[in-house]
């Protein structure tokens, strides 16, 4: 965070940018949340909003100057819970990174479980250090407990290989659901066909749309036939077009403010402008603290058989279902989770009647 702060300050003082953004890591998001309001600099993040850092002890300030494409991890956890219930799961494990993103996804899962009659058991709950790559000890516990589903939000360095490690150990549950960062077949190609076959992931796109197909075609033209979009690349792609649409709208309707590059006027238009191309949900209009209200989510599965989008890889993505997030602001989400206990390792969360 300290180096990021120094760099962003240098960029602001040297270039006086109108907007800033890119792959802002959740672990450093405090920096733009503090600096953007001070310099009236619109910052954008293509990833998803992690909520627990905005509560003590982190207490990162919410800001309308920092806008997100993705819905909160609290909603991602709820999607996971709903999906597990729909799939008839009886016992769900959680394998997550030992930091706020893992905690918030788990809180969402727990919230769904508590508010929907405890439809399945949750156990074991495992948080791993972000630099850990060998999950053999954790997988032994999973194998011992025999869950029929596992939710794997981002775990750090070993994340892409978690499914492979589960399969190698004979511990793979019937359902392996990765979190939003895995997202698309770019992640599956990193994991490899053996590890990725049959797994599910929360995603931000529909691989069957013409817009997605055109995006993959253009990506391959730029980066090579063996390449494939991964993680949040499509979110950033759409977000750039949203910024273009935002400034075009300002120039059309308020040319004087546009010529002056009035940041307050531009900020107000973020609450009005919407744009969609390659993502399953539009970007905008934004909520009062930069949240993409009412965003959609999806579940993708990787099945045998090459896609015509990537004939060299023996799996193809299938859209399983979509979800719609509640139109809750970030502050309303924080009101729900303030003081809410996360899923704890070693604690069993039984199904109703269990």
Q: Sign of the CA dihedral 17, 18, 24, 29?
A: positive
Residue from 24, 37, 62 nearest 329 by CA: 62
> What DSSP element (H or E) covers 214?
helix 210-223
Per-residue pLDDT for 16 more than 70? yes
Q: Answer for the pair 102, 96: CB distance below 8 angstroms, yes or no.
A: yes
**Per-residue CA distances from 195 to 42, 63, 220 (Å):** 40, 39, 24
Q: What is the pLDDT of residues 254-284, one digit of tens each?
A: 999 989 889 999 999 999 999 999 999 999 9
pTM for this predicted structure:
0.95
Identify the band that residue 25 occupies on the pLDDT scale cut at 50, 70 and 90: low
Least confident stretch, 119-123, 182-186, 277-281: 182-186
Provide φ and ψ at 55, rounded to 5°: -105, 165
Residue 226 structure tokens: 């063996």
Q: What is the pLDDT of residues 201-247, one digit of tens each?
A: 999 999 999 999 999 999 999 999 889 998 788 999 999 999 999 99
Q: Looking at residue 88, what is its pLDDT?
A: 98
Residue 120 structure tokens: 């399945």
> Could you give the CA distance from residue 125 to residue 150 in angstroms, rounded to a whole number?
10
Q: Position of tokens 């025999």?
A: 146
Other C-beta atoms lying within 10 Å of the C-beta of residue 248? 12
94 beta partners: 125, 151
Residue-wise over 187-196: b if at least 16 C-beta within 10 A, else e?
Answer: bbbbbeeebb
Mean pLDDT of 22-49: 84
> Could you give the CA distance from residue 191 to residue 3 in angstroms, rounded to a whole number?
31
178 beta partners: 152, 201
Q: Quick one: DSSP state of residue 22?
A: E
> Could you give the CA distance from residue 5 to residue 324 in angstroms, rounded to a whole number?
35
Residue 310 structure tokens: 């990537």
Other C-beta atoms lying within 10 Å of the C-beta of residue 37? 16
> Could you give the CA distance from residue 143 to residue 131 in angstroms, rounded to a whole number?
23
């Amino acid at each position: 965070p300290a180096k990021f702060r120094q760099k962003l300050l240098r960029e602001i003082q040297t270039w006086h940018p109108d907007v800033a953004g890119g792959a802002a890591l959740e672990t450093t998001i405090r920096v733009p949340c503090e600096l953007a309001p001070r310099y009236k600099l619109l910052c954008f993040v293509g990833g998803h909003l992690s909520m627990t850092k905005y509560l003590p002890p982190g207490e990162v300030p919410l800001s309308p100057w920092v806008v997100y494409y993705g819905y909160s991890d609290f909603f991602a956890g709820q999607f996971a819970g709903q999906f597990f219930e729909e799939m008839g799961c009886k016992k769900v494990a959680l394998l997550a990174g030992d930091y706020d993103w893992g905690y918030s996804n788990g809180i969402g899962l727990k919230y769904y479980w508590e508010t929907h009659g405890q439809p399945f058991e949750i156990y074991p709950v495992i948080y791993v250090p972000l630099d850990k790559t060998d999950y053999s000890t954790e997988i032994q516990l999973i194998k011992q407990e025999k869950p029929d589903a596992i939710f794997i939000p981002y775990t750090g360095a070993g994340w892409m290989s978690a499914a492979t490690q589960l399969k190698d150990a004979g511990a793979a549950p019937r359902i392996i659901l990765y979190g939003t960062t895995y997202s698309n077949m770019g992640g599956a190609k990193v994991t490899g066909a053996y590890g990725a076959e049959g797994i599910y992931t929360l995603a931000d796109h529909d691989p069957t749309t013409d817009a997605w197909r055109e995006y993959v075609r253009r990506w391959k033209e730029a980066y090579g036939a063996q390449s494939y979009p991964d993680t949040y690349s499509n979110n950033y792609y759409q977000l750039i077009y949203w910024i273009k649409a935002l400034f075009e709208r300002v120039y059309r309707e308020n040319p004087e403010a546009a010529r002056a590059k009035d940041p307050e006027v531009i900020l107000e238009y973020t609450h009005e402008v919407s744009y969609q191309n390659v993502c399953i949900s539009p970007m905008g209009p934004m909520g009062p603290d930069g949240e993409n209200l009412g965003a959609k989510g999806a579940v993708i599965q990787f099945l045998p058989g090459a896609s015509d989008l990537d004939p060299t890889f023996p799996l193809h993505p299938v859209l399983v279902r979509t979800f719609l997030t509640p139109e809750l602001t970030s502050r309303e989400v924080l009101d729900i989770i303030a003081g809410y206990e996360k899923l704890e390792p070693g604690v069993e969360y039984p199904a109703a009647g269990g």
